[in-house]
Amino acid sequence: MSTPNKQTRVAWLQGPAVRCESVPQGDHPPYRLVLLGAPGVGKGTQADLLSQRLGACHLSTGDMFRAAGNCAECEQSPAIQEALVYMRRGELVPDSIVWEMVRERLVCLQCSGGFVLDGFPRTLGQARSLKRLLDEQGIWLTAVVNYDLPIAEIVARLGGRRTCEKCKAVYHLTERPPKAADRCDRCEGKLFQREDDRPESIKVRMEAYERSTAFLIDFYRKSGLLMQVPATGTPDEICQRTVAELEPRRISGFAQKLWAAAEDRR
Ligand code: AMP
């Protein structure tokens, strides 16, 4: 396993004009992952943990759009401005814009430290574009990790979430309870439950998620890259489980590519 490094991700967050200060130089094939999972399974947390454990950069397209939107001194291209309109409405950004931004950041996909893609690809079109680009570059994915959790548990997780009206701090009734019921520890603001965290809304969101990712899951299952990981237990346990399943895939994926390259030379 590579030495954990502290990635600044500036090339990803700020775009192709900026280069990361240091790039990990691994002496082994890096981990290149795509993470999938419904809202509430803790995909973002796992992306961070895996990135620390494996030394691969956490590349989130949501973070990329947010960084573009929050950068006061950056000149925003028409594509970014359009993307932000979709994002603020809570809708998916069109594939053409997402792809333009990801392709511009090819250097991050080529990085010798590897990557953990989070939030991308989200559609079959994006998955196909990514595959084409990686094939052209001779880069292969180690695995596509799909975090799996029964819907009842997702409802319990998201349903217990409470947010402070004033400072927006987030609590959980059982996992991270506030000291005083319904009051924020930091500013004493009143805690409320977000409309979309109510059980009825969660079920609707889950169904929409499953409908939209069914094609993606199928695409990656057929390509042999899909790895189902139960998202039960603590974040550390889930991370441990993921890493244990990944290691053999990284080695066997690498061996297969070497073999294929040797075959090509014959
Ligand atoms: P996230 O942080 O992954 O939930 O992304 C936040 C928002 O960014 C989403 O609601 C979308 O508007 C946009 N977004 C992020 N990634 C993608 C993607 N791969 N395709 C389309 N829209 C995306």
List the Cα angle 188/194/196 in 5-degree steps: 170
Predicted pLDDT at 53: 93
Q: For residue 227, what is the enclosing H or E element?
A: strand 226-230
**121 and 34 Cβ atoms separated by less than 8 Å:** yes
CA of 231 from ligand 1 middle (Å) equals 21
191 within 8 A of 164, measured Cβ to Cβ:
yes
94 lines ligand 1 (CB under 6 A): no
d(CA 199, CA 220): 30
**pLDDT at position 226 over 90:** yes
What is the pLDDT confidence band of residue 2, given thresholds at 50, 70 and 90? Answer: very low
pLDDT, the chain, mean: 88
Residue 244 reports pLDDT greater than 60? yes
Given the CA of residue 87, which atom of ligand 1 is nearest to it? 12
In the structure encoding, which two tokens stand for residue 161, read together?
């979430």
The whole-angstrom separation of Cα 50 and Cα 239 is 7
Question: Ligand 1 atom closest to Cα of 90?
Answer: 10
d(C-alpha 24, C-alpha 179), whole Å: 42
Question: Does any ligand 1 atom lie closer than 6 A to the CB of residue 86?
Answer: yes
Burial (0-12, 13-18, 19+ Cβ within 10 Å), 262: exposed
Per-residue pLDDT tens for 172-198?
998 889 999 999 999 999 999 988 888
Identify which of 195, 164, 198, 199 has the alpha carbon closest to the alpha carbon of residue 179.
164
* 3-state DSSP assignment of residue 238: helix
Percent of the chain with pLDDT over 90: 55
pLDDT value, residue 4 = 40
From 75-84, 145-154, 157-166, the region with the lowest mean pLDDT? 75-84
pLDDT for res 1: 42
Residue 121, sorted as left (phi over 0), alpha (psi -120 to 50) or beta, turns out to be beta
> Are 30 and 5 spatial neighbours (Cβ–Cβ below 8 Å)?
no
Per-residue pLDDT band at 3 (split at 50, 70, 90): very low
What's this model's pTM, rounded to 2 decimal places?
0.84
Report the chain's C-alpha Rg in angstroms: 20
* Residue nearest atom 6 in ligand 1 by C-alpha distance: 62
Amino acid at 21: E
Pocket test for ligand 1, best of 59, 61, 63 (most atoms within 8 A of CB): 61
Check whether 6 has a pLDDT greater than 60.
Answer: no
